[in-house]
Structure 1
């Protein structure tokens, strides 16, 4: 039986090496904007509104809101480029992940199902040398809905033909409940399990 094993991206395949707000604060500082918690809130709200509505480039909406709040002479587009650069630089792949992907890829196709924009998410996968492992990478923007909606899972099925589909992810609602509702076998990733999780996954699938 052919089993396709699919993974979430942020918080599963890759992890930030420090709190995300600190990374964002460094982006602000790099463009001459003070580290004000209220600006984080303004950026988060603008991002979430645009992201939930599937508006293009929600990161720019966030940075534009921050620039407006600060009354700063900064370029939101340049800030977005810095944010992506910093997300790549300050993210890591946990010990055991690559060995697990190597082993699983020998037995069947692998995929990624991630909430986000295709180019943004693929850039992070490529930065860490992971893109080559996956037969299909589905981002929620191209599916027209975010997990836990079934649309990203259905899009993955269109791209990978298998008899069984497994979803590995850290977000219980999006990755576990969403996968189960879509007919995938869910596996909940919890980072505190460390390398032992990836060893166990190799044995389970």
Structure 2
């Protein structure tokens, strides 16, 4: 039986050990912009407004809002690039995840199904040297809808025919309910931060 196992990217495969606001803080301070409550609020609002509407370059829109709010004379292109570099450097991939993905790729089709901009998300996976483990990469921006909409899951079915589809993700509404509604077998990723075992330590048995 052919199985396609799909994984969410952020906080499932690639982890953020610290709050994203710390990444924003280091980014803007590197360009001489004071990190204030206003800067935090406008960067978050601008990003999510653009992101939810699938507008182009949500990260750039976020940083543009920061520059405007701070009245800063800052090179926007350089600021956006610093945000990308700072974010990528702040992420990690658990050893258990890397080992499990490598093993699973031997006998299964693997896919990333992520809410995000394709170029940004693929680059994040490239940064950690994991891209070659996956047969398919589906980002919500390229299919015109974010999970839990069925469009990202439908793209997987179109590109990777299989007898069974599994979706592993940390967000219950988007990953678990979205997958279940699309006819995928959902697995809710849990990090083990509460003292229990990390899902990666037992995922081979689950699938």
Q: TM-score, normalised by structure 2?
A: 0.96
Taking a change above 3 Å as real, the CA distance of residues 44 and 196 of structure 1, as seen in their structure-2 partners, is closer
Q: For each residue in 1:8-39, what CA deviation from the matched residue of structure 2 results, as whole angstroms up to 9, or x when unmatched? A: 00010011232110111000001110010211
Write out aligned runs for 1:14-93 (5 A). 14-93=14-93
* Counterpart in the other structure of 1:127: 127
For the residues of structure 1 that align with 2:149 and 2:38, how far apart are their CA atoms?
31
What displacement does 1:82 show? 0.9
* Counterpart in the other structure of 1:141: 141
- Which one is further off, 190-199 or 50-59? 190-199
What displacement does 1:76 show? 2.2
* Counterpart in the other structure of 1:5: 5
* Counterpart in the other structure of 2:201: 199
What displacement does 1:80 show? 1.3
Q: Which SS does the other structure have where 2:122 is aligned? A: helix
Aligned residues: 205
Q: Which runs of 5+ in 2 are unaligned?
A: none
For the residues of structure 2 that align with 1:5 and 1:144, how far apart are their CA atoms?
22
1:17/1:91 contact within 8 Å kept = yes
What displacement does 1:199 show? 2.7
For the residues of structure 1 that align with 2:198 and 2:204, how far apart are their CA atoms?
10
For the residues of structure 2 that align with 1:91 and 1:20, how far apart are their CA atoms?
10
Q: TM-score, normalised by structure 1?
A: 0.97
Taking a change above 3 Å as real, the CA distance of residues 115 and 80 of structure 1, as seen in their structure-2 partners, is same
Q: For each residue in 1:154-197, what CA deviation from the matched residue of structure 2 results, as whole angstroms up to 9, or x when unmatched? A: 11111111111000000001000011111110000011267641
2:191/2:198 contact within 8 Å kept = no
Taking a change above 3 Å as real, the CA distance of residues 195 and 98 of structure 1, as seen in their structure-2 partners, is farther
For the residues of structure 2 that align with 1:10 and 1:66, how far apart are their CA atoms?
24
Q: Which runs of 5+ in 1 are unaligned?
A: none
Aligned-pair Cα RMSD in Å:
1.2
What displacement does 1:123 show? 0.4
For the residues of structure 2 that align with 1:78 and 1:191, how far apart are their CA atoms?
34
* Counterpart in the other structure of 2:113: 113
Q: Which SS does the other structure have where 2:4 is aligned? A: strand
